[in-house]
Structure 1
Amino acid sequence: MESALLKVFVAVANEKSISLGALSLGFTQSNVTLRIKQLEKTLGYSLFHRVPSGVILTKEGEKLYPMAIEIVKKVEEAQLKMKNITHQETLRIGSGQANAAIRLLPFMQKLNKKYPNMQIELYANANPQLMEHLLTYKLDVTFITGNPNHKDIVILNRFNDDMYLVDSKHKQSENCLIGYKVDSSHYKYLVNYTKEQGNLDFKSIIIENYEVMLGCVKAGMGKAFLSKKIVEKYGYTNDLNFTKIDNNDELETYLICRKDYIPMIGDYLKKMKLD
């Protein structure tokens, strides 16, 4: 049984669709259909039921699914380790948007200077997606907000983001919370803090652009919870009030990787200074 066929099977099972599975793999739909039929012929079982919305696993497919995931992960892990067996040829980095705005550029510059021949791949998203990609070997390292406290994760480095509640210096702020994403750790922390203060009637505005967010705060449209470094980067320091919220150490940024797949440049990453 070829691991490549199992990888196709897992992709289709995850997407519950042959066409979407093909899209996620970068294959044609006919290619994926052919490979699924090949796997079914090898096993002697049908693995999917065809339904109007796509496909669902048969009982045999459900039994195969967890074993297929494990095999695909192990094969990918082996390929990665062999690829980087003598030197770190590729480093796949994950980052949240706040970290990207604060320190990703100097991080990349240091890596490029130290390892000029190393290929770098970037992936940006929120904490849950970053953790998922790291745990499924789709990332080598990722910056994440807050200590992950996960049995399969090791911390390589940590950074302080100097977080503040910010509001307008020039206008009375509306009872509104402004965040980058709904599932952003910083925005969720601000929501919980606001509720703990007894304020339950606030509105929310989600803006996936820090410069626009800061402009809205300056205009009195609401408050935000941001790193002072982001405010300074976009030149809004003199337009905003800064209020330090106590006990927000859990919002430090951590550079993490899997315990069973520490990059060859792990020691360098542990010593790197960015703040």
Structure 2
Amino acid sequence: MDSSLLKVFVAVANEKSVSLGAVQIKLSQSNVTLRIKQLEKNLGYALFHRVPKGVILTKEGEKLYPFALEIVKKVEEAELYMRNISHQETLRIGTSQANAAIRLLRFIEKLKKKYPNMELEFFTSGTPQVIDELLDYKIDVAFITGNPNHKDIMVLRKFNDDLYLVESNTKKSQNCLIGYRHNSTHFKYLESYTKNRGNIDFNVLIIQNYEVMLGCVEAGMGKAFLSKAIIDKYGYTNRLKLTKLEDNECNLETHLVCRKDYVPMIVKDLKSGF
């Protein structure tokens, strides 16, 4: 069975659309349609039903999907391994938003200085999503908040981010928690910390821009929980009230991690920080 046909099948199944599947794998829509028909002819079954908003799997398609997904993943993993067999040709880096703001650029500079020909790819999201991508072999290394404590993940380095509760220096802060994402590890901790102190009536304000977040805190619109490096980066260190949470029992240090069964060739450099 041709794995390239299965890759097209998986893309269309995931997107529930021939056109969106074509965009995902960078083929023309007509090419994708032709390949799906070829796969259906080879198997002797129709794999998709056409519906007003796209396509859905037939019963036969549903049975094929998990096998096709596994084969496609294994082929991609083998291709990447062979490309990197003599040297690290590509490094796929995942990072949480906070680490993208304070750590990623310096990391890239060091990598490009030592490995100028190495191609770098990036995935930025919340820590849970980054971990999912790592476990799914879609990225090679990741900066995440907190220790993953996962049997398949290896910790390469640990960083202390010096976290603070921040609020206005000059105004009474509204009963509002300000965060970058709802599922941010830092924001979840701030929610838990606040509730544990009997405050359950707070409002929530999500702003996906750290500079704007800090400006809102300074204006008295609420409180946030941020790394000192981010506070310093945007010049708010002496403009806000910073409080170290002494009873912070949650492990919120940053960890650089990889899969135990897929360790990058440059692991020694990653562990040492160059």
For this structure pair, what is the TM-score category when the shorter chain's length is used for normalisation?
A: over 0.9
Question: Shift in Å at residue 136 of structure 1?
Answer: 2.4
User: Equivalent residue of 2:93, what SS?
Assistant: strand
Q: Give the Cα–Cα distance (whole angstroms) in 2 for the partners of residues 174 and 247 of structure 1.
A: 23
Contact 2:189–2:250 under 8 Å retained in 1? no
CA separation in 2, counterparts of 1:249 and 1:91?
30
The unaligned stretches of length 5 or more in structure 2 are none
User: For residues 49 and 132 of structure 1, what CA distance do their matches in structure 2 show?
Assistant: 30
Report if aligned partners of 1:76, 1:137 keep a CA contact under 8 Å in 2.
Answer: no
For residues 143-199 of structure 1, the C-alpha deviation after alignment (integer angstroms, 9 at most, x for no partner) is: 111122223222221211111111111111111111111121111111121111111
Evaluate the alpha carbon distance shift between residue 103 and residue 248 of structure 1 in structure 2; reply closer, same or farther with a 3 A threshold. Answer: farther
Residue 212 (structure 1) aligned with residue 205 (structure 2) = no
RMSD of equivalent CA atoms: 1.4
1:1-275 equivalent positions in 2, closer than 5 A: 1-245=1-245, 246-272=247-273
SS in 1 for 2:226: strand
Question: Which structure 1 residue ranges, 5 or more long, are not aligned?
Answer: none
Measure, in 2, the Cα distance between the counterparts of 1:148 and 1:31: 41
Shift of 1:128: 2.7
Runs of at least 4 residues off by over 6 Å: none
Further displaced range: 227-236 or 20-29: 20-29
Shift of 1:53: 2.6
Counterparts of 1:59 and 1:42, CA distance in 2: 17
> What per-residue deviation string (whole Å, max 9, x for no partner) do you get for residues 96-135 of structure 1?
1110111112111111222222121222111232123222
Distance 2:225 2:248 in 1: 14
* 8 Å CA contact retained: 1:92, 1:121: yes
* Distance in 2 between residues matched to 1:97 and 1:86, nearest whole Å: 32
In 1: Cα distance, 2:27 partner to 2:135 partner: 24
Contact 1:143/1:253 (8 A) holds in 2 = yes
Give, in angstroms, the shift of residue 248 of structure 1. 4.3
Partner-residue secondary structure (3-state), 1:129: helix
* 41-50 vs 147-156, which moves further: 147-156
Distance 1:258 1:7 in 2: 24
**Structure 1-normalised TM-score?**
0.95
C-alpha distance in 2 between matches for 1:271 and 1:146: 20
TM-score norm. by structure 2 comes to: 0.95
Range moving further from structure 2, 30-39 or 53-62: 53-62
Letter in 2 for 1:257: C
How many residues matched? 273
- Distance change in 2, residues 1:248/1:21 (3 Å): farther
